[in-house]
């Protein structure tokens, strides 16, 4: 048995042994024998679309007495909810922006969060009684900027197929094609924090949220023992814009988040949980129209292929109207913008000339083999964040916390 206090002492003494979830699973696959004495911390991570995201901002837009109250407000055209504090005649606005709020079909809360965190100038429009106030500002002008998730870091998710006619869906970029023509899935498999944890994650657990130190504040909405997720919070000023972004679906815009969680290896049982492989983690297959389960596979079927999408300019046939409309806005000027790309693979499935390259895997279902045409999770990004957390622990800039409460307890 080890304790979190003992592991933190080893971190301070630069004597800690940290493995990423990928490193641990690769050792297990190679047949290596690993005991709890061989590793102190396993860093896990997930990156992908996480709808339950909002930001709470507070900042001045005018001097005292200029207006009595803010009745409506938008940032780069994305509507926000005013309040919860009225700030009468102070010239300060408090607001809440939902990640799924949108200016138009291609720009929403996630895109705005990315731009803010990257330091871009944002146009703020405040509607007040009798006048409209317009101001341009950056995150440096926003004293309070905190992100909160109501549902994130899911214990993986599901694969979706459509047996019928095409339908608009949050699980597709264009309308979700029918007749089992393609599959979409979410979840980072063996890297996922809640697939590796056997009770070490709780209220107060310190995490990395989009590169910033954050904390677990409880279970998320619709969390169940079988399909858990977390509610988290962190300061946006400390976040890295390359870990967060927007994603446009055929049913509205959404948010891409990146979450890393340390798993303290206190005993052999916890190590066993942290060592679970893709082949041991089930992936339910759902009918996208009814959200009912119609089959099961495992994550080894979908994460056995290329994690990154590549662009081969020599294959581009320069279509008069390019049909690659990147949902993350990552393809511009004939190249992929790494900071925005989430390796979803939509471009691979629609490019006429085959200039985008990635083996995406397939879903076996009742004698069919259904190709994956969209990934809602970015395993490559998750590996990067798990590596980042490992480096911070080894550098003594990230210590583990003892939870103040267990998840699921009243």
Asked if the structure places residue 321 within a domain, the reply is: no
Domain boundary among 131, 148, 165: 148
Where among 148, 177, 204 does a domain terminate?
148
Residue 75's region, left for phi above 0, alpha for psi from -120 to 50, else beta, is: beta
Strands 368-375, 362-365: parallel, antiparallel or unpaired by DSSP? antiparallel
- pLDDT-derived band at 81 (thresholds 50, 70, 90) equals very high
Q: Can you tell me the distance from the alpha carbon of 70 to that of 326, in angstroms, rounded to the nearest whole number?
A: 35
What's the pLDDT at 76?
A: 98
> What does the alpha-carbon distance between residue 142 and residue 118 come to, in Å, rounded to a whole number?
13
Pick the range with the lowest mean pLDDT from 88-97, 206-215, 283-292, 329-338. Answer: 329-338
- What is the domain range of residue 21? 10-50+153-305+360-404
pLDDT grade, residue 240 (50/70/90)?
A: very high
Mark whether 81 and 181 lie in a shared domain.
Answer: no
Q: Is residue 329 part of a domain?
A: no
Arithmetic mean of pLDDT, 347-373: 94
pLDDT reported for residue 85: 87
67 and 178 in a single domain? The answer is no
Alpha-carbon distance of 308 to 325, in angstroms, equals 18
Kindly state whether residue 21 falls inside one of the protein's structural domains: yes
35 and 115 both lie in a single domain: no
In a domain, 106, yes or no: yes
Residue 181 maps to a domain: yes
Q: Which two tokens stand for residue 213?
A: 């130190």
Could you identify the residue written with the tokens 């972004």?
Answer: 245
Q: 203-229 pLDDT, tens per residue?
A: 999 999 999 999 999 999 999 888 899
Q: Is 380 part of any domain?
A: yes
Q: What pLDDT is attached to residue 376?
A: 96
The pLDDT of residue 128 is: 94
Would you state the pLDDT for residue 368? 95
Residues 38 and 119 in one domain: no
pLDDT of residue 409: 61
- Looking at the fold, whether 109 and 240 belong to one and the same domain comes out as no
In a domain, 346, yes or no: no
Q: How many CA atoms lie within 13 A of 380 on its CB side?
A: 18
Residues 110 and 185 in one domain: no
Single residue among 132, 148, 164 that ends a domain in this structure: 148
Q: Per-residue pLDDT averaged across 275-285, rounded?
A: 96
Q: Are 71 and 216 in a shared domain?
A: no
Model pLDDT, residue 381: 96
Render 195-246 in DSSP notation, one character per residue: HH-SS--EET-EEEETTEEEEEEEE-TT--SSS--EEEEEEGGG--GGG-EE
| Mean pLDDT confidence for 97-110 | 96
Distance of CA 216 to the CA centre of its chain: 15
pLDDT value at 146 more than 60: yes
pLDDT over 80 (residue 408): no
The answer to the question of residue 229 being in a domain is yes
| E strands in 224-315 | 230-235, 245-249, 252-264, 282-287, 292-298, 310-311
Looking at the fold, whether 43 and 65 belong to one and the same domain comes out as no
At residue 84 the predicted structure's pLDDT band, cuts being 50, 70 and 90, is: confident
The Cα-based distances of 20 to 204, 242, 368, 392 in angstroms read: 21, 20, 35, 12
**Average pLDDT taken over every residue of the chain:** 94
Nearest of 384, 370, 363 to residue 158 by alpha carbon: 363
Question: How does pLDDT run across 293-306, given as a tens digit for each residue?
Answer: 999 999 999 998 89
The reported pLDDT for the residue numbered 410 is: 53
* Per-residue pLDDT at 390: 98
CB 296 within 8 A of CB 169: no
Question: Looking at the structure, do residues 67 and 121 belong to the same domain, yes or no?
Answer: yes
How much is the pLDDT for 156? 87
Domain count, the chain: 2
Stretch 313-340: mean pLDDT: 86
**Over pLDDT 70: what percentage of the chain?**
99
Is there a single domain that holds both residue 142 and residue 241? no
Q: Answer yes or no: do 122 and 190 share one domain.
A: no
Output the pLDDT for position 99.
96
Do 268 and 180 lie in a common domain? Answer: yes
Give residue 166's pLDDT. 93
Q: Say whether pLDDT at 352 is over 60.
A: yes
């Amino acid at each position: 048995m080890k304790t979190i206090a003992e592991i933190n002492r080893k971190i301070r003494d630069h004597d800690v042994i940290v493995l990423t979830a990928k490193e641990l699973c690769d050792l297990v696959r190679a047949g290596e024998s690993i005991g709890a004495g061989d590793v102190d911390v396993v860093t896990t991570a997930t990156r992908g679309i996480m709808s339950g995201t909002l930001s709470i901002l507070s900042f001045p837009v005018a001097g005292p007495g200029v207006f009595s109250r803010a009745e409506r407000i938008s940032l780069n055209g994305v509507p926000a909810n005013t309040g919860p504090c009225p700030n009468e005649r102070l010239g300060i606005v408090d607001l809440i922006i939902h990640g799924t709020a949108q200016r138009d079909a291609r720009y929403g809360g996630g895109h705005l969060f990315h731009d803010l965190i990257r330091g871009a100038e944002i146009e703020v429009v405040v509607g007040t009684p009798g006048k409209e106030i317009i101001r341009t500002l950056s995150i440096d002008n926003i004293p309070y900027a905190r992100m909160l998730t109501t549902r994130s870091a899911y214990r993986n998710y599901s694969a979706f197929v459509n047996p019928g006619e095409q339908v608009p869906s949050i699980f597709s970029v264009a309308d979700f094609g029918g007749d089992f023509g393609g599959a979409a899935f979410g979840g980072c498999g063996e890297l996922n924090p809640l697939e590796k944890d056997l009770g070490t994650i709780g209220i107060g657990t310190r995490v990395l949220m989009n590169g910033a130190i954050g904390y677990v504040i409880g279970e998320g909405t619709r969390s169940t023992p079988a399909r858990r997720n977390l509610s988290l919070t962190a300061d946006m000023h400390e976040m890295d814009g390359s870990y967060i972004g927007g994603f446009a679906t055929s049913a509205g815009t959404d948010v891409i988040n990146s979450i890393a969680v340390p798993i303290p290896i206190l005993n052999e049982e916890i190590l066993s949980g942290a060592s679970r492989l893709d082949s041991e983690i089930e992936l339910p297959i759902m009918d996208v129209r009814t959200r009912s389960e119609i089959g099961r596979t495992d994550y080894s079927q979908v994460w056995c292929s290329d994690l990154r999408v590549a662009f081969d300019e020599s294959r581009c046939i320069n279509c008069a109207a390019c049909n690659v409309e990147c949902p993350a806005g990552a393809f511009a000027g004939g190249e992929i913008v790494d900071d925005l790309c989430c390796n979803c693979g939509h471009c691979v499935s629609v490019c006429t000339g085959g200039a985008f390259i990635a083996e995406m895997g397939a879903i076996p279902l009742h004698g069919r083999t259904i190709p994956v045409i969209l990934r809602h999770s970015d395993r490559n990004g998750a590996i990067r964040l798990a590596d980042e957390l490992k480096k911070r622990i080894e550098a003594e800039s990230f210590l583990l916390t003892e939870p103040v409460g267990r998840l699921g307890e009243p």
